[in-house]
Chains A and B, each alone.
Chain A
Amino acid sequence: ELKVEQNPLFLSMQEGKNYTIYCNYSTTSDRLYWYRQDPGKSLESLFVLLSNGAVKQEGRLMASLDTKARLSTLHITAAVHDLSATYFCAVDTEDSNYQLIWGAGTKLIIKP
């Protein structure tokens, strides 16, 4: 069964701190996606990681991919309140007919 597991599912942290969200997946895939969802809003694409060792950064967010470990990380540096949101990772594989399989999401609350 294709599975994408995120942890933690909930994270409350103070502004200025660093933290990492983990995304594990159960099948061979070279493509991993990170999306952000603000409360009550839609989802928007953050990063697409297309190969082993890929690293993408935008502002205080950095995502990386290790296809051998089937693991992606989303690292938050010096968190600010505006980064409060739910973050989803997703993968696509031949087994899923290249449709995205989603993690459950990590709800991140950053306190001022």
Chain B
Amino acid sequence: NAGVTQTPKFRVLKTGQSMTLLCAQDMNHEYMYWYRQDPGMGLRLIHYSVGEGTTAKGEVPDGYNVSRLKKQNFLLGLESAAPSQTSVYFCASARSGANVLTFGAGSRLTVL
């Protein structure tokens, strides 16, 4: 049972480049989340989804877009990367109505 899988694990971008982070879960969870983690700031919610075909903004959505075309996948896109988006990104999933999250291993993104 793989749980939550994130790809890629590491990526270096130049300012202005675009990229997509992929999150896949095999637990049939309804809810999926994208967080970013920066030193000393805990986790901040970027976007989330409460089911296939739905997305919603979190605390820090600017500069990011998401899609949930299939229940098991949640994509996070950066259209024009900025150095302020250098961070570790975590995807998580949960059963409907619960906030006991299962996290992926994280994706470390550096924007130069």
Chain A contacts to B: CB under 8 angstroms: 4, 9, 31, 33, 35, 41-45, 48, 88, 90, 92, 97-100, 102-105
B contact residues around A43 at 8 Å (CB):
43, 90, 92, 101, 103
Are B42 and A103 in contact, with the CB atoms below 8 A? yes
B contact residues around A103 at 8 Å (CB):
42
Residue of B nearest to A92 (CB): B99
In the assembled complex, the Cα of A50 lies from the Cα of B44 at a distance in Å of 22
Interface size class of B (residues with CB under 8 A): 20 to 34
Chain B contacts to A: CB under 8 angstroms: 33, 40-45, 48, 56, 58-59, 90, 92, 99-106
Residue of B nearest to A31 (CB): B99
Ordered by A's residue number, 10 sampled pairs between the chains whose C-beta atoms are within 8 Å are A33-B99, A42-B105, A44-B103, A48-B99, A90-B43, A97-B56, A100-B43, A100-B45, A104-B40, A104-B42
